[in-house]
A and B are shown apart, each in its own frame.
Chain A
Amino acid sequence: MGRSDGGRDFESLVLPHLDAAYNLARWLMRDPVAAEDVVQEAAVRALTYFASFRGDNARGWFLQIVRNAAYASMKLDRGLRTVPLASGGDADAAAPEPADPADDPEHTLVKTQAHAGLDRLLAGLPVELRETIVLRELQELAYKDIAQITEVPIGTVMSRLWRARRLLAAAAQHEAVP
């Protein structure tokens, strides 16, 4: 499997970060099929752009593409609703409704916490808080990497992390009855 050119290419840049990419997409889209589509789309974009990639941080670069693809997909979903095809309500029931950023997060949390584990609470966070806490706690990325991927200043990363954690802590406390 060794590379004869010894250089970077699409496979060595992108494939090692596939788990990270899928995990981010999965938490952003909250649906396994949509997450696969997003990663696939991101890989196509990465294939197109990778010739111009000059940095050292391939993971951050690819995750940023994944995030952009996920946002594009969410935007698309909002515009046109796909025709519901066959299948019962199971799939729908499993995925919480996409949170409107305008929704009050505390309210959303209180609504769902009655029958939700922490994973559900996390899935119910507003997307900008959710992606930040996922990148920090599940991917264990540094602030500067999160700032690059989510395209905000480090200070914003810190305040989003704080808000996300405070919401999760409050909700987890109501839940946890040891």
Chain B
Amino acid sequence: MTRSHDPGECEMTLLVQAEFDGELDAAQAAALATHRADCPICQAAAESLGRVRQALREQAPYHRAPDSLRARLTAQAAPRRVTLVRTAGWRRAAAAFVAGGAIAASVMLALVPSGAPGLSDQVLAGHLRALEPGHLEDVISTDQHTVKPWFDGKLDFAPPVKDLKADGFPLEGGRLDYLDGRRVAAMVYGRAKHVIDLYAWPDAGADTAPTVLERDGYTLVRWRQDGMALWAVSDVERDQLVDFARRWRAMP
């Protein structure tokens, strides 16, 4: 019984399909109609096309972008606009970068003092997302000699990978993340059962002392050191994260 629905072969079937997809003009459609009146294969093909379309619409979901993804990409784009405005008064060497174009724009981002709006939210969002199952580390490691080479070739900079095991913050792994539209390094540290994410990306500004922010029960500490912007984020106690930042900075 099912075999009788097989459209079989006719050289015109691709045209039947084209008409079905609204790709034929009126003259072509008229010519096809003449042929189809006498061709059972093409008649069956047209029916089959309709059945498949209906079945797909009923059973194959159209996956809309999750709100979290939309929010992340919007946040990613938004600070850039602010940055471009701010660059007007920025120092000369940096201004040369602004010559135009998106790459320059994203480079500028890193030069803006880390107060760029939305960045702390992005850091926190990245941290929370990483805590979802299977997302925490792309490379699992016991020391920096595994993590450091793993970043090679995945980033256009060499992130400062340090192990603070002796200080009670063992390095557990690393992964790539996105902040402000660029790839950044994320180093994952453990503290008892808690996770500390440390984000790093190049930032040409002078070194700064750590600043502490709080967001929804999470603590963020940011500073700049040796040409890198660094953001630590975790749900450990505030004092512990500050201690982590202090030790990390002090380590050569």
Is the contact region of chain A dominated by helix, strand, or loop, or is it mixed? helix
**B-contacting 9-mer, from A21-29, A67-75, A93-101, A102-110:** A21-29
B64 on interface, CB distance cutoff 8 Å: yes
Bound complex: CA A10 to CA B74 (Å): 10
Min Cβ gap A9→B in Å is 8
Question: Quick one: which of B52, B63, B77, B81 contacts A22, CB cutoff 8 A?
Answer: B63
Q: A159 and B14 in contact (CB under 8 A), knowing A118-B60, A143-B21, A168-B52?
A: yes
Q: Which residues of B contact A51 (CB under 8 A)?
A: 100-103
Hey, what's the 0/1 contact readout for A140-178 against B, CB within 8 Å counting as 1?
A: 001100000000000000110110011011101110100
Bound complex: CA A112 to CA B44 (Å): 26
Total contacting residues, chain A, CB less than 8 A: 56
Question: Does B182 lie within 8 Å of A86, measured CB to CB?
Answer: no
B193 on interface, CB distance cutoff 8 Å: no
Bound complex: CA A133 to CA B49 (Å): 12
Bound complex: CA A11 to CA B181 (Å): 12
Bound complex: CA A55 to CA B232 (Å): 41
Question: Does B49 lie within 8 Å of A165, measured CB to CB?
Answer: yes
Question: Does B14 lie within 8 Å of A36, measured CB to CB?
Answer: no
Hey, what's the 0/1 contact readout for A13-34 against B, CB within 8 Å counting as 1?
A: 0110011011100110000110
Min Cβ gap A135→B in Å is 11
Bound complex: CA A91 to CA B56 (Å): 24
Min Cβ gap B58→A in Å is 8
Q: A27 and B17 in contact (CB under 8 A), knowing A44-B178, A48-B102, A170-B6?
A: no
Min Cβ gap B96→A in Å is 17
Q: A85 and B65 in contact (CB under 8 A), knowing A51-B102, A122-B60, A172-B52?
A: no
Of the candidates B59, B74, B136, B183, the one having the most CB atoms from chain A within 10 angstroms of its own CB is B59
Question: Quick one: which of A9, A49, A137 contacts B60, CB cutoff 8 A?
Answer: A137
Total contacting residues, chain B, CB less than 8 A: 55
Q: Which residues of A contact B135 (CB under 8 A)?
A: 33
Question: Does A39 lie within 8 Å of B55, measured CB to CB?
Answer: no
Q: Which residues of A contact B76 (CB under 8 A)?
A: 43, 47
Question: Quick one: which of B55, B56, B62, B73 contacts A43, CB cutoff 8 A?
Answer: B73
Question: Quick one: which of A21, A118, A137 contacts B65, CB cutoff 8 A?
Answer: A21
**17 pairs from A and B in contact (CB 8 Å cutoff):** A14-B73, A14-B77, A15-B70, A15-B73, A15-B77, A18-B69, A32-B66, A39-B73, A43-B76, A47-B106, A119-B60, A133-B56, A137-B57, A143-B18, A165-B52, A168-B56, A173-B2
Q: Which residues of B contact A11 (CB under 8 A)?
A: 74, 77-78
Q: A39 and B69 in contact (CB under 8 A), knowing A51-B102, A122-B56, A168-B52?
A: yes
